[in-house]
Structure 1
């Protein structure tokens, strides 16, 4: 089992967490404030601190005015106003076909005939004269992508697999799932929010703690996380749920379909998590038959690798507050 975990840790070590930001969706909200006048909000993920070359393209005659921008939590937020006719024509995102990013588009009209859609490399334009339904099914895909490219969440799950005994794995992962589902729903539907930086730092601390606990296990020390791993998983799962909620807050939930979209996003997260655990267990099965490594040193090395990675992320995220 530990041999397979070492392979996965090597993958985490060479992966660039910043590259995961490119698959986060962009978000374009257009709200009609007066007849023919619209307030535009455009949110797009930054890649390694740089702006992706993505720009909304409005129908001819729509000129931006009073444009302002800010950077918030790895996202570039631009706002401006346009005065034009958005009842016909098409709306597109220039440069979308050269990225991995999807773009959620929401047009809120005074008369109530709102439009919403997901633009992606294979579907680049929205026909403004054609009614659309809320793209709730896209939230399942966003949930899957968020967990599979959320290296910190995956490393926490990997640490649980390393720490717990096989018979405890199901209850431990279930506790983690239940906890982050509770806080995700509370944040998305009930307005319970925590600031992003402390949440991200605590998530990194949870990984460092699991690494330390795994080291204690190799030394034969009895700890709470070994006696009741489900309790540790549940406690930190509550914090991880706020991390998921932060990602969801960047694109929002479609009006009139909030519960359905949230459920699909959460199911996507769980599907991605189950797929990850299945891959780990499959690698464990293969590694025990193909590779021969001393069990004790391999477990110690894996524990230190998880702990050091978590501690590095703690330092990196604290430093990010002051830069």
Structure 2
């Protein structure tokens, strides 16, 4: 696949998703960028703003298998990863794969399950495999987990462990639509729903993911990423800063957004564009900072001003 063809397919994918998710182009672009990097996405927002619909639409636009896990307080780890079932007529155990064995998995309301069940996803998210009854099984490639969660102040929710939060490449929030966008939603409800056909196949996504890894990152940009991460670990309002995994994720997301825009190199604007989505959920505020109304997004904005971000001369061309 050449780079021009990849760009056309990615533009077509975003446009196809926009037909169902009105007025959220930036969030759709970031979701596609996360997929290009092979990273998982956490969609956090109030109920009813289209989190699940975004995941379902994106999955329908990508060929391959789809699995859904509805997280509840009584969900067991085996309901996620799969179980071994004894067959009396053969006297042997047969493995029945859980919904996590798919190319795209929707983990709906992930923070309604107990921590033990949430932890069942850790191996799948990090290593793209699951171990059941001592046997390790690889997951399909590409593997992308898109999880939705309600705000913590809602009844019946649990806080996700920091180790699990750190394994999400991005946290996105859709927010309420503008009045004119909501009017358009109501108008579309009177039209018959259009069939969603796949735009990309799993094999094409794997090719794109390999190409994303070749996008050039200048040493000055790498130094800036490290300086910001180091500053977060000493920030007076934080009890937990950006981990090395977070720094790697930030660079990878910057490569993916550059690739999406048709470039073979990362520029400072790429770094800033993905920063809040990649970094905010990895930071833990001190209790006094939370009480004072400080948000992780505000701290990320403060961190981006730490040191001098590299300034490059505008390059000619800029194709992939």
TM-score (norm 1): 0.26
TM-score (norm 2): 0.26
Query: Which of 1 and 2 has greater Rg?
Result: 1
Greater helix content? 1
